[in-house]
Amino acid sequence: MAVHGGSGISRGVIEQMRLELPECRYMELVHRLDRETSGVLLIALKRRALTGLHAAMRDGRIEKRYLTLVAGRWPNPVQHVKLPLHKRVTDDGEKRVTVRGEGQTAHTIFRRLQSFADFTLLEAELKTGRTHQIRVHTSHLGFPIAGDDKYGDFELNKRLVKQGLKRMFLHAAQLSFEHPITGERLLIEAPLPAELASFLDTLNNAP
């Protein structure tokens, strides 16, 4: 489900939330997730909270960590990737991002969590929040995300569907930040969805 309506989508998460919780007079998305990405999505219920969280994001005070499965054997336990990203919109209105020298600065810290025969489970910490940042950084380095239908390995994706992976393996696992009004330190976590966890099990149990 898209996070908000637009470009042919009549209703997204935020519109549905407003319908379900009419008593919340103010409700706005703090950030976005790609439609294919699961995990933590932050919504502000006060304008003061929204502006405070946006300021925290600009200042790099919100820690965002994702889990992703990439094709190939990722070589380094920890790797800082700083590749500038250029965004353009295609004629049919689709966002496309490429690594280009004149693009916006983009910084991802990848941590290798588990290696398999043909895949690697990574944690990706976003130091900047560019469109499709994790997807383009991994793909550009030769490690496309499993199931990614935009920047991935399309032949591999077809095989993965038959093996039970019917979506992109990218999950917003954790957000950590100070509450914009109370100052309390918050850690919000979303467990790996069942379909991703079960696919990892098949890799763990592979001969």
Query: Looking at the annotation, which residues are catalytic?
Result: 34
* Other residues' Cβ atoms within 10 Å of the Cβ of residue 43: 18
Round to whole Å and give the CA distance between 19 and 192. 27
Round to whole Å and give the CA distance between 141 and 99. 10
Is there a contact between 125 and 63 (Cβ–Cβ < 8 Å)?
Answer: yes
Is there a contact between 43 and 54 (Cβ–Cβ < 8 Å)?
Answer: no
Torsional sign, CA 198, 154, 143, 94: negative
Round to whole Å and give the CA distance between 186 and 171. 19
